[in-house]
């Protein structure tokens, strides 16, 4: 089994939806482009990735959203060194179709009170639903490692929630641990690095907005 030396997770650059949440009332979530700031964020991230990968090959998986595809394009990776696959299981949490801003803000308040992992948007998914499909992707990813010529690098261009849930699934974090973590910023990365002991470790933790609060603590 040719396990990669590093697995890099990247959140897309700032999209027009990050800058103005009223756009969800007019445009489908999946079709929202990057802002100028988002392009700059992605270009800066691309510089760091090119330095990290050098001339090594990279297996790339990208969410099917426009903003993730544009983020990947801004990286300017050498096409001779990358194998790119669109992966729908790495998409954003589904919130429904066109969204009423006031309704979404109300549902987000409900989610904050109910819990981000279990709360399901009225016409969309819960965090638990995203966890399940990310888990399915991980099974496919593990199988790809069986190829003796698997690249030493894996790059996932995805969304903040999916990044946290990928790490939750990989490292067997509890729901309480997941609930305590904040999303990375736009264009930020987290890298799983393979150690000499055969175990992966994350290069830097997600920021915490509170300490984990498991049920058994009362």
The residues annotated with a catalytic role in the active site are 12, 92
Contacts of 152 (CB under 8 A, 6+ apart): 4, 5, 6, 56, 57
Q: What is the C-alpha separation between 48 and 44, in angstroms, rounded?
A: 7
Q: How many CB atoms lie within 10 A of CB 22?
A: 11
Q: Is 208 helix (H, G, I), strand (E, B) or coil?
A: strand
H-type helices in the chain, by residue range? 16-19, 36-53, 66-75, 101-114, 127-144, 160-171, 175-179
Cα(first)–Cα(last) distance of the chain, in Å? 44
């Amino acid at each position: 089994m040719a396990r990669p030396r590093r697995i890099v997770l990247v959140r897309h650059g700032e999209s027009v939806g990050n800058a103005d949440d009223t756009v969800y009332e007019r445009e489908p979530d999946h079709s929202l482009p990057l802002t100028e700031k988002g392009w700059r964020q992605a270009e800066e991230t691309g510089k760091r990735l090119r330095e990290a990968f050098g001339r090594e090959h990279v297996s790339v998986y990208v969410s099917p959203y426009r903003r993730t595809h544009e983020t990947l394009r801004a990286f300017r990776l050498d096409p001779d060194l990358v194998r790119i696959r669109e992966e729908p299981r790495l998409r954003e949490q589904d919130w429904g179709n066109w969204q009423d801003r006031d309704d979404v803000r109300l549902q987000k308040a409900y989610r904050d009170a109910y819990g981000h992992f279990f709360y399901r948007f009225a016409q969309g998914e819960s965090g638990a639903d995203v966890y399940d499909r990310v888990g399915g992707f991980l099974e496919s990813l593990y199988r790809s490692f069986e190829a003796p010529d698997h690249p030493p690098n894996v790059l996932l261009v995805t969304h903040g929630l999916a990044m946290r849930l990928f790490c939750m699934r990989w490292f067997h974090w509890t729901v309480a641990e997941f609930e305590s973590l904040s999303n990375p910023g736009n264009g930020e990365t987290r890298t799983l690095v393979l150690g000499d002991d055969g175990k992966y470790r994350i290069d830097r933790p997600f920021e915490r907005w509170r300490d984990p609060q498991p049920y058994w603590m009362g």
